[in-house]
């Protein structure tokens, strides 16, 4: 079984946090498949606190990891066409 996702924080702004899924996927789960763990890991590194959490998935598509008030993964959403600031 693969271990948690291998990712890096590309941007950490007052409005959003942007992650990049790095793989290799034969060894690591994707952010998509490890979303619960990824949200917890990111929140321990840099508190999310109401910011949007986006990531570039293994197909290089921008996707939102929705986070609830308890700072836990709450689903997926489409990412914005482009990130501002």
Average pLDDT rounded to a whole number, residues 9-18: 96
CA distances to 20, 75, 84 from 68, in Å: 21, 9, 23
Checking if the pLDDT of 75 tops 80, the result is: yes
CA distances to 1, 11, 35, 69 from 56, in Å: 23, 12, 13, 23
The three-state secondary structure class of 28 is strand
Model confidence at 84, pLDDT cuts 50, 70, 90, reads: low
pTM: 0.90
Instruction: Give domain limits for the chain.
Output: 7-78
Question: Does the CA dihedral 85-14-8-59 come out positive or negative?
Answer: negative
């Amino acid at each position: 079984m693969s271990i948690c996702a291998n990712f890096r924080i590309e941007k950490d702004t007052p409005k959003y946090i942007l992650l990049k899924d790095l793989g290799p996927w034969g060894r690591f789960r994707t952010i998509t498949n490890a979303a619960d763990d990824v949200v917890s890991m990111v929140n321990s590194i840099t508190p999310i606190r109401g910011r949007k959490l986006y990531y570039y998935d293994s197909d290089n598509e921008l996707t939102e990891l929705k986070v609830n008030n308890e700072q836990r993964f709450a689903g997926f959403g489409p990412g914005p066409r482009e990130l501002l600031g």
